Amino acid sequence: MDLNLYLYIALFLLLVGLFLFSLFRRRQEEAREKDTDLPPGTGPLDPKEVNRGPGE
Amino acid sequence: MKPILIRFADGSYIHAGHFMLFLAGLLFILLLAIETKRTGERAEKIWGLMILLSISAVYGAHIFYWLDFRKEYGYGLKHLFIFWKGGMALYGGAILAFVTYLLYTHWQKMDFWRTGDLLTPPAALFVFCARIGCILSGCCHGRECRFDFPFAMPARPPTGPIVRDTPLYPTQPAFAASALLILLVLWARWKRRKFDGEIALIGILMYSVTSFVIEFYRGDLRVLYQILGTEISQNQVISVNLFLAAVILYFYRRKEATRCL
């Protein structure tokens, strides 16, 4: 095969590699965000609510 | 001029034009990666777009060249598919790449203008390197100088009837210098841009003007028309249309941006 064609193939493969890598990282980020998401009503408490005494 | 960059013992070789396109592609990717990270754009969408743009730009450039010169060089239908053995026309690549860009940004719901701004400086760098490839391979050369022009280049034409060592207008260095100038202007403008699409439109405006002027001095085989007694090339016709479209869009976008403020 012509050597000049290899140059174009190398460039194209680099682009495909970058695409797959960035897609993989995006999926990882999305999965991490999902893991930290808590169900409704179980989120961190408001410090004002926690420190409020019974008479307040 | 050095059309064959490396020749191996078995007779295979690397052509300077193809090698410079490869280098141009690498620098384009590098600059785009930096810009994408800096602006916080979705990288997977940008690289997905780039995969399709690279295919359409290479094939568009080759198809355009094939359509224009298939008779002159006796290219058959087979040549349409072996792009690495035939020539390329920059505007052909740009036209097909633009259609792909339009469809992809619409499909992926990307910001048409902001993505255009992101791609334009790397594109100027790409054109600069590709034009260095023109200097090395001897294509896109100038007409014969009629007077003692200080920057004239000796002819080493791969095609055409020009006699070797005839002084020619340095159109390839002029193209390369204009691309570098565009890149510098776009970089200088980047932080002071007032609306999305400004960088892309300035790039198109500058490229169409410089290309239109330099084309008058080109002497290689091109498609030419006679308009009002002047010989105008096909690229110049495209440049004029591109310029008009960019001017209209520039003022429209600027007006829209001031209205939003």
Partners of residue B34 in chain A, C-beta under 8 Å: none
A44 part of a folded domain: no
Q: A28 to chain B nearest CA, in Å?
A: 13
> In this structure, is residue B225 part of a structural domain?
yes
The whole-angstrom separation of Cα B145 and Cα B117 is 38
pLDDT of residue B82: 80
Establish if B245 belongs to a structural domain: yes
Verify whether the Cβ–Cβ distance B43 to A22 is below 8 Å: yes
Contact call for residues B51 and B77 (beta carbons, < 8 A):
no
Q: How far apart are CA B200 and CA B242, in angstroms?
A: 12
* Coil vs helix vs strand at B191: coil
**What ipTM does the predicted assembly reach?**
0.83
* Strand B167-168, strand B153-154: pairing: antiparallel
In a domain, A17, yes or no: yes
Examine residue B150 and state whether it is found in any structural domain, yes or no.
yes
- Give the residue numbers spanning the domain of B163: 4-42+110-260
The pLDDT of residue B24 is above 80:
yes
Range in B66-75, B154-163, B169-178, B185-194 the model is least confident about: B154-163
Query: Cβ contact (<8 Å) for A8 and B43?
Result: no
pLDDT: is B138 or B191 the higher one?
B191
**Domain assignment of residue B173, yes or no:** yes
The nearest CA of chain A is from the CA of B5 a distance in Å of: 11
CA of A44 vs chain B CAs: smallest distance (Å):
29
Looking at beta carbons, which residues of chain B come within 8 Å of A15?
29, 47, 50-51, 54
pLDDT at A21: 95
Question: A5: domain range?
Answer: 1-32
Provide the domain count of chain B: 1
pLDDT band at B156 (very low <50, low <70, confident <90, very high): low
Q: Which of B157, B150, B161 is nearest to B135 (CA)?
A: B157
CB atoms within 10 A of CB B214: 23
Q: Is residue A54 part of a domain?
A: no
What is the domain count for chain A? Answer: 1
CB contact under 8 A, B84 and A5: yes
Name which of A4, A8, A15 is nearest B51 (Cβ-Cβ).
A15
Question: Per-residue pLDDT for A51 more than 80?
Answer: no
Residues of A whose CB is below 8 A from B25: 11
